[in-house]
Structure 1
């Protein structure tokens, strides 16, 4: 337990920061799940639309320090590749 007034204040600040970071992490994970669901449904247009919003949320999370910048870039890159592959898939299926 914190004894000094400065330590007590630090505990209060940490609790507030933790709550904010938990909220941001939850929002980011929700957006990631929405993209995953759009990809699973096979709807390329919906996946592209959700990906634009998700990219913003993920990069903002990195900027705020919730996740590392490289982690955010990796997540966005992998999702973009999957959405791009999904968009190209119907074109190749129609050609065959």
Structure 2
């Protein structure tokens, strides 16, 4: 089977994208305590701090796991938590 340079290049691009995505997803350590800077914004009407937004974006891949946790579910899945996520520019994932 003879492959053209275009086919080889396309395969290389796909591999680079897949490997980059795998490394990015492996870099997140899910820890709900990382969201503690967001506590006041979630439990009251205080605007989220830049640190809160940063941590929220960092923990975004973990949010569905937090929603499934009975201890965190009500807090993480609350309307205020979704509002904070929206303000931070990190829309809540569909779980």
TM-score category, normalised to shorter length: 0.3 to 0.5
- More helix by percentage: 1
